Structure 1
Amino acid sequence: MDQTILNLLLSNLDACQEDSASETSSIISGFDSMNIRCQGNCYQKVKAILQQAADAIKFKDWQIDNLIMALKRNTDVKISSENNVSGVEQKKTDKDKNIEEIILRYENQLKEALALLKESSLMLKNCETQKQQLKDELAEKTKVVSQLKEANALSKESNERVRSLEIQEHKLEQQLATKITAIDVQIINFEQDKKIYPDQTEVFCGRYGPHLFQVSNDIVGPGWLIIWRMAMVNGALKTNVNVKHEIVQSIVNSQRHELYIYKVDEEGRTSYAHFDNFSLYASPHSFYYVKSLDLLSSSIKVCGSLVNTQYSTMINGFNSNNKCVLYQLMIREKHI
């Protein structure tokens, strides 16, 4: 039975080479048609073996088909690639031939074009160099123009200052000329006043007899007799005129008199106090006091009445400022 099965298998395999699937099917069908009887279940075992062989053959056929298809695809791609490469090379060859023909045909024109291109490159470089030089020159000219503008502005400002100084100089010359003229007039007037209003005068003071007084004609008008005067000498304020109190009393009590106090500080500022109806009286102890004194005007602040104030105290009170460089008391007869 085993030999019969084997011969059947071989005959079926040899007869079916075109389609392996139909071959395996016909083998199994033939085996069934034989209706072979055997002991036990050997029939089923042989059928199972045949079925496994058929499945294995199908699987191998499937692998072979896939391999054939893959090889076919690769072959088609290779053939297509070779065809494409061949076409490109053909085209390239044709293009090269065309280029060679063009080069051979226009070789001289190409040489001239290359020469022109080289010359153009040189000209372009020269133009770039000239452009940079022009930029540098323009920057330098711009700098010079800026400096010229600054110089012109300074010159204009200087000219304006010069004109301003010339105007100021002219004004100062005019003022100086005016002051010189005024001083000349003052000198002339002073020379004339000197004859009319002398610097010294002699006054007869009753029982005290004649007394020589200095006269101040240049502060508040002529005719003022100086009765007390202090001036700065070598950095110290010293008294250089001090008319005796009793002589002052004799003069001011004989007729109505004005009193003028004049001060000058170290910075040249002046101050004054102008009084009317100045008179004195003597105490039993020979101290002299203010009998009457009426304030007319003053740049010095005066508070309260000075009547009954001791004469020497009043003099020192108006000279309490140590910065004073000139301190002068004057009297003049009141003309009503």
Structure 2
Amino acid sequence: MKDRVYGMLRRLGAFYLMRRLFRHKLMILCYHGISLDDEHEWWPGVFMTEDKFRGRLKLLKNHGYTVLGLGDALEKLSTGTLPPNSIVITADDGYLNSPETLVESCQEYGYPLTIYVTSYYAEKQTPIFNLMVQYVLWKTDKSSLKGDLSAIGLPEADHIDLGDSVEKKKWCERIISYGRVNCDENGRQSILKALCDRMELNYGAMVTAGMFRIMGKKELQMIVEQGVDVQLHTHRHVFPLDKDQASREIHENREFLEPLACRPLEHFCYPSGKWDPAQLPWLNELNIRSATTCNLGFVSEGDDHLTLRRYLDKQTISDNEFLAEISGFLAFARQVRGRVRSLWN
């Protein structure tokens, strides 16, 4: 029903009018990974099919949006020279299949792309532990496990119920917590192997396919040579509320990425979009020029570049809803709704 309404509004010209109203604002799109298998069914807010992503790029072209690189767009926004209806495309984390999916697709359309890369797993070249644990427990057909479960990070349990979603989430969190607290990276991968064995899933096949893996030095050097803007996303995908620890995350991220990018890196993305006002002075001291969040909205001239809003696109969002968001129609609707609520209050 909602999609039909958006489609009707588009045909009536509502999106065109909103594009005129929001034409001097910048929209930054946020993506993560392209599915190798069924990851988009498990987590549609992070993973998307390649066909869906390519469809988004086609919509941008067909509707006449101007796609700019991140640094270029922010410079033009600051100087009042931003072209009407400008878009920036960003992707977080730096998944292994990015060169043949995100990068290749954007290059086919001549669109610049910024990829924020978290470097711990780029360095280790192992699957991301917490993501793979969650995926394996989602994918399995097992309704329970019995016996010695110490190999999967549950040394005190001899039976777990996987048929109930609440129980499954609890056990998932306990496995992840055990691996983080008690194991090094080799130990965490041993847990993943044992977990896959117990769930009758093929750990080796998933690793070989590149599932939940981050680009290594070879892939990063290749996309830099292709013109992709590689930028900062912390080393361990955390940005603590402790200045020294937060600075360490940026320093280690830079140490890994800057030799590959062959230039200083000055743009940053908060892991999971989470940030705190207390962190902004730290970023200034670290010579960070911009930082993106996952807060929804356009970026306007004069906005703080250390709290840039973005639009997190998802597999489950229809083309009509996507166009409603990037045209400004939904932003306008939210503004109207907020004013009406304030009047009632």
Task: Report the TM range for the smaller structure's normalisation.
Answer: under 0.3
Which of the two has higher C-alpha Rg? 1
TM-score (norm 2): 0.17
Flag the structure with more relative contact order, 1 or 2, with Cα contacts below 8 A and sequence separation at least 6: 2
Higher normalized strand content (fraction of residues): 1
TM-score (norm 1): 0.18
